[in-house]
Amino acid sequence: MTLPAATSLTTAVEPSCYSRLTNEWVCAQYFVDRKSDLVEATTEHVLITVAAVAFGLLIAFPLALLARRYPRLEATILGVSTGLYTIPSLALFPLLVPFTGLSPTTVVIGLGLYALTILVRSILEGLRSVPEEVRESATGLGYGAGRLLLRIELPLALPVIMAGLRVATVSTVALTTVGSLVAYGGLGNLIKDGVNTNFRAELLAAAVLCVVLAVVLDVLIVLLQRVLTPWTRGVTT
Amino acid sequence: MTVFGDTWDYLTTGSNWSGSGGMLELLLQQLLLSVTALAIAVVIGLPVALWLGHLGRGGFLAINISNIGRAVPTFALLALLVTFDFPGRAEFGPYGRAGLATLIALALFALPPIITNSYVAVREVPPEVKESARGMGMTGPQQFFRVELPRALPLIASGVRLALVQVWATATIAALVAGPGLGRVITDGFFRTNYGKGIAGALVVAAVALLLELVAAMAQRAATPPGLGSPERGDDEMSGDAR
């Protein structure tokens, strides 16, 4: 029992950088050994984020249209969503638990509500940024309300909406970690484990991956925006 | 559902509020942390941002610091600070367990809204107004204090208000790394399957959060010079802070 762990069974040349004896922050061995943990956590993280943002978008869109149509409703919608946004995530998830249980749904709905707040404003602002003359010309050409929205207003509102989508997505990635309260926090689960067991390599890896994920998703949305708005691509000054 | 009954029971039992480790103590602890962190962030961030805004330099950093702050999970930073040898988990006076680590994390996350909003606030003062001030013979500091600052006040106040909400939310999360504050009631409840307790804690946290927002909104309105109205554009209201 006095043998160091490294020389006992494995054929590794150098001692592992995480063990009873060492606790390095940066440790390539960790990535090799715990790859499945990381992959599983990252997958869960991505799925929760995408589901939450999609949920938020799905609800934000009709709400924004309603708010645009009925100004009195706008104040209520914005007020309630701001109120929700003020509630800390660690408190919002428990408040949802009696209704959605200890499941990923709780995290997805909670995060979706935050995303909704950002997205409703973005969609509203985006639609309002469409110049009045453009709308008038389209109506003059015979565009009905539905076609007007789909073919004219939405495409022109896209830059603002996409900006909001980026903000919503990046903050959702960060907030998903809090889902570890109900054991559905994606990379947050690894962070929690790392803190509790003082496992430095795990903690740093999960934290860095979180930020990397946020940046990757942000870039993807920017690329999506460029694909969806080809008319802005030719603009170079 | 019985869990609501449990929650009500927990909230109405006096012993849960009083004494060491009771909800009242934790609530005051968290309020103290929040106010201290906000004060630190204001003292550090506000002068720098206002000065940069006045000069028109450092805009890229001032705007993007919010993007960076948004991408870093508050939970991750708290976890890292607590696991470092310093500040670690040591008790820090009235700030409780891991008090210093929490304070640092709170101050760091309060900086982006304050810096970005203050910078933008000063930049958005219309150039004509600044020109008139210059034309009237005001020196640089006079231009700043008599013209730019009063006009920038509403947006600055909105930044501080955002920072307060952000700080309260982050302080709650500190409980996930065995830190101070009311979050502990939530985590204790959930990790020991005492859901009534967890939800009770959540209700108190949420109620205080809404109260703080209300107070901050009133303060913001009070800070708005009459005739200026509330900031609409560039309010940065939904800057997507990690809460």
Q: SS3 for chain B, per residue?
A: CHHHHHHHHHHHCHHHCCCCCCHHHHHHHHHHHHHHHHHHHHHHHHHHHHHHHHHCCCHHHHHHHHHHHHHCCHHHHHHHHHHCCCCCCCCCHHHCCCHHHHHHHHHHHHHHHHHHHHHHHHHCCCHHHHHHHHHCCCCHHHHHHHHHHHHHHHHHHHHHHHHHHHHHHHHHHHHHHCCCCCHHHHHHHHHCCCHHHHHHHHHHHHHHHHHHHHHHHHHHHHHCCCCCCCCCCCCCCCCCCCC
With tokens 């959605």, the residue in question is A100
Do residue A195 and residue B173 have CB atoms under 8 angstroms apart?
A: no
- B-chain CB neighbours of A122 within 8 Å are 238
- A-chain CB neighbours of B82 within 8 Å are 195
Nearest-CB residue to B240 (from A90, A118, A194): A118
pLDDT at A24 over 60: yes
Instruction: Look at residue B22 in the predicted model and tell me its pLDDT.
Output: 85
| Contact A97/B at CB under 8 A | yes
Backbone φ, ψ for residue A18 (5° rounding): -140, 120
State the DSSP string of A41-109. HHHHHHHHHHHHHHHHHHHHHHHHHHHHH-HHHHHHHHHHHHHHHHS-HHHHHHHHHHHH-SSHHHHHH
Do residue B199 and residue A192 have CB atoms under 8 angstroms apart?
A: no
Instruction: Look at residue B57 in the predicted model and tell me its pLDDT.
Output: 86
- A-chain CB neighbours of B235 within 8 Å are none
With tokens 């606790």, the residue in question is A23
Instruction: Look at residue B76 in the predicted model and tell me its pLDDT.
Output: 94
Do residue A194 and residue B187 have CB atoms under 8 angstroms apart?
A: no
Cβ neighbors of B147 (< 8 A, separation 6 or more) are: B125, B129, B130, B133, B138
Instruction: Look at residue A169 in the predicted model and tell me its pLDDT.
Output: 96
Do residue A121 and residue B168 have CB atoms under 8 angstroms apart?
A: no
DSSP-based three-state secondary structure for A111: helix
Tokens of B35: 């106010």
Nearest-CB residue to B240 (from A89, A93, A171): A171
**Is B243 buried (19+), middle (13-18) or exposed (0-12) by CB count in 10 A?**
buried
Length of chain B: 243
> How many angstroms separate the CA atoms of A185 and A173, rounded?
10
Average pLDDT over residues A20-36: 81
**Chain A nearest-CA residue for B165:** A86
Instruction: Look at residue A190 in the predicted model and tell me its pLDDT.
Output: 93
Do residue B76 and residue A177 have CB atoms under 8 angstroms apart?
A: yes
Instruction: Look at residue B1 in the predicted model and tell me its pLDDT.
Output: 59
Q: With CA atoms as reference, report the closest residue to B161 among B120, B95, B220, B204.
A: B220
CB B117 within 8 A of CB B158: yes
* Cα angle, residue A132 at apex, residues A127 and A136 outer, rounded to 5°: 115
| Contact A78/B at CB under 8 A | no
Instruction: Look at residue B242 in the predicted model and tell me its pLDDT.
Output: 53
pLDDT tens figures, A83-103: 999 999 999 999 999 999 889
Average pLDDT over residues A108-114: 96
| Contact A211/B at CB under 8 A | yes
Least confident of A13-17, A155-159, A189-193, B90-94: A13-17
DSSP A153: I
User: ipTM score here?
Assistant: 0.85
- A-chain CB neighbours of B212 within 8 Å are 86
Instruction: Look at residue A210 in the predicted model and tell me its pLDDT.
Output: 95
Tokens of A24: 């390095």
**Chain A nearest-CA residue for B207:** A87
Block means of pLDDT (10 residues each) for chain B, 243 residues, are 82 81 89 95 94 87 89 94 84 82 93 93 89 88 86 90 93 90 91 89 94 91 74 46 57
Least confident of A47-51, A168-172, A202-206, B232-236: B232-236
pLDDT at A177 over 90: yes
Q: With CA atoms as reference, report the closest residue to B53 among B132, B136, B159, B138.
A: B159
pLDDT band for A133, please (50, 70, 90 cuts): very high
Instruction: Look at residue A111 in the predicted model and tell me its pLDDT.
Output: 96
> How many angstroms separate the CA atoms of B60 and B47, rounded?
17
> How many angstroms separate the CA atoms of B8 and A134, rounded?
56
pLDDT at A8 over 90: no
| Contact A89/B at CB under 8 A | yes
Q: Distance from A228 to chain B by nearest Cα, in Å?
A: 23
- B-chain CB neighbours of A215 within 8 Å are 71
CB A197 within 8 A of CB A19: no
| Contact A49/B at CB under 8 A | no
pLDDT tens figures, A196-235: 888 888 999 999 999 999 999 999 999 999 999 888 776 5
> How many angstroms separate the CA atoms of B112 and B159, rounded?
9
